[in-house]
Amino acid sequence: MEETLTHGKCSALVIGGSAGSLDVLLEIFPNLSTRINFPIIIVTHRKAGNDSLLADLLKNRTSLMVREAEEKEKLLPGYVYIVPADYHLLIENSHTISLDYSEKVNYSRPSIDVTFQSAAEVFKNELVCILLSGSNADGVEGLLAVKKYGGLAVVQDPQTAIMPYMPQQALNNAKPDVILDSLKMAAFINELINK
């Protein structure tokens, strides 16, 4: 599949993952350009109590600004926002963050579907969403919404995933635009800068 963005500029990138996705994130972030000119939101399934662990791990591997997302915070280019454990993250039309404690979706809070769908409604064809390794189907409905609004749906090649179930479900049900080997993700993200 062609590994270039054909639909226009990228105004936001959302990366979702569950079991096995941390390894991919730790591969991606040391190789990201310092010229990233869009916000990056990371939604992973994790237990409450480990709140700063992921942010700390990524801060040590990138020169981008990494922070735990906060209520009513404005999304800024070049910043990486980690969705807090036990909250859904939605994006308002004003490009501010809304944290939500409503019911779990796909047994998960935060839910990848919730953030992908919310971002799709706001950023439409200027959104890129990447779904990584995981062991449930969270993210599939979200990728369908991304495609409906004209955004770019990207899925980790299940053959490179520690837990291939999640990306395989997306391949089966969401017909992603791009399938990426985990080792090529950083280069793909860096290419989005020029769009």
**Cβ–Cβ < 8 Å for 108, 134:** no
**Cβ–Cβ < 8 Å for 14, 113:** no
- Hey, how many other C-beta atoms are within 10 angstroms of the C-beta on 10? 23
- Indicate which residues carry an active-site annotation: 18, 45, 138
- For β-strands 127-131 and 88-91, DSSP reports them as unpaired
CA dist 191 and 104 (Å) reads 34
